[in-house]
């Protein structure tokens, strides 16, 4: 009986769209482990020397590269790929941006903005946003997915039944993710690594950060999943809970509008109480604040809440 193998895959082995005709870069057996080096979501276009002018020059054809595809021997439609997420090896560099036309409040924030981050990649202590705010870090991969059965090239940006750009911050060390297989070999790819993100990623970016990670790929035969599911190894907000939260709400018959209202009211609270520029408050909310559906049963109005962790503010 053979032992599981360990594979190393480098960042240059990436692609820019889901397409089941892309040749796999590696064939692995169920149970094999991989160490994967992931580029950031800009594919290296935003560096530590970048300025806000670089946001306007972004080549969106290079956005959200994913490393792969990886062929899993024996995977067939109807199976599920079981992804056990291991450790992360962050780079120490990251960025957050307001990109015009993108994000929950795109109509309100029409000018580009850029925040460059430098953090301790070993100690992973909270990263400084400003002299008055530090953000606890929780690395994860924003994009993990399998190829679609539908032929042709499909954008990586929207999440799908087979996973993809899920941007779920709890897909981190110790979490087990299951994705439904649509094509032989599954054709797994991963990328869009983040150092931290709030639930909702409201401005459209997190702390975008290149990093390496380890994971194990396995199969669950004939799982017949309808969509992604995952299991966490323990509590998911402990890194933010210690000092409580400031919470604003949006209430109304439209969940999107209620979400926008809840976030707008938090931005107002931060600008009034802490002297932040509105766009800075918006980006800070994106990397550490959480949108939650608090109530969805009392017709005609729903309640969306936005939780901002108080420990972020110094």
Within a domain: 225 = yes
CATH number at residue 288: 3.10.28.20
pLDDT at 312: 97
Say yes or no: 263 and 166 in one domain.
Answer: no
157 assigned to some structural domain? yes
Domains identified in the chain, total number: 2
In a domain, 1, yes or no: no
Q: Say if residue 162 is in the same domain as residue 298.
A: no
Residue 297 and residue 204 share a domain: no
The residue count of the chain comes to: 314
Q: Is residue 256 part of a domain?
A: yes
Domain boundary among 231, 255, 272: 231
187 within domain boundaries: yes
Would residue 247 count as lying in a domain? yes
Residue ending a domain, choose from 231, 249, 272: 231
- The verdict on 290 and 250 lying in the same domain is yes
Q: Which CA distances in Å does 108 have to 113, 117, 161, 200, 264?
A: 13, 24, 31, 17, 9
- Does 224 share its domain with 245? no
Which pair of structure tokens corresponds to residue 290?
């959480």
Q: Are residues 246 and 188 in the same domain?
A: no
pLDDT at 314: 84
In a domain, 213, yes or no: yes
Are residue 227 and residue 246 in the same domain, yes or no? no
Boundary residue ending a domain (180, 211, 231): 231
Task: Examine the domain organization and report whether 86 and 224 are in the same domain.
Answer: yes
Residue 268 lies in a domain: yes
For residue 14, the enclosing domain spans: 6-231
Q: Do residue 67 and residue 204 come from a single domain?
A: yes
**What local confidence, expressed as pLDDT, does residue 2 receive?**
64
Residue 11 shares a structural domain with residue 112: yes
Question: Do 122 and 39 fall into the same domain?
Answer: yes
Q: Residues in the chain with pLDDT < 70?
A: 1-2
**Residue 74's CATH number:** 2.60.120.580
- Do 298 and 229 meet the contact criterion of CB atoms below 8 Å apart? no
Give yes or no: residues 194 and 290 share one domain. no
């Amino acid at each position: 009986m053979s032992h599981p193998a360990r594979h190393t895959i480098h960042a240059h082995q990436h692609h820019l769209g889901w397409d089941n005709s892309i040749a796999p870069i590696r064939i692995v057996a169920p149970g094999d482990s991989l160490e994967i080096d992931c580029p950031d979501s800009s594919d290296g276009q935003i560096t530590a020397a970048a300025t806000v002018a670089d946001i306007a020059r972004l080549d969106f054809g290079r956005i959200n590269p994913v490393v792969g595809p990886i062929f899993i021997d024996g995977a067939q439609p109807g199976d599920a790929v079981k992804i056990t997420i291991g450790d992360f090896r962050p780079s120490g560099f990251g960025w957050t941006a307001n990109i015009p036309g993108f994000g929950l409040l795109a109509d309100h924030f029409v000018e580009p903005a850029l925040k460059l981050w430098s953090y301790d990649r070993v100690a992973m202590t909270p990263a400084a946003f400003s002299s008055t705010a530090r953000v606890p870090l929780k690395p994860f991969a924003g994009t993990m997915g399998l190829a679609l059965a539908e032929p042709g090239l499909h954008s990586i940006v929207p999440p799908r039944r087979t996973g993809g750009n899920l941007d779920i911050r709890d897909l981190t060390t110790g979490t087990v993710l299951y994705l439904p297989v649509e094509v032989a070999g599954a054709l797994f790819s991963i990328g869009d690594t983040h150092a931290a993100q709030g639930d909702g990623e409201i401005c459209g970016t997190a702390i975008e950060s290149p990093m390496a990670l380890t994971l194990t790929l396995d199969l669950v035969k004939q799982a017949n999943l309808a969509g992604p599911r995952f299991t966490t190894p323990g509590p998911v907000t402990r890194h933010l809970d210690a000092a409580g939260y400031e919470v604003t709400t949006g209430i109304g018959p439209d969940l999107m509008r209620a979400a926008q209202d809840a976030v707008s009211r938090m931005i107002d609270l931060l600008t009034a109480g802490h002297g932040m520029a509105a766009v800075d408050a918006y980006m800070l909310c994106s990397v550490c604040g959480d949108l939650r559906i608090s109530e969805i049963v009392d017709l005609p109005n729903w309640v969306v809440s936005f939780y901002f962790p108080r420990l972020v503010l110094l």
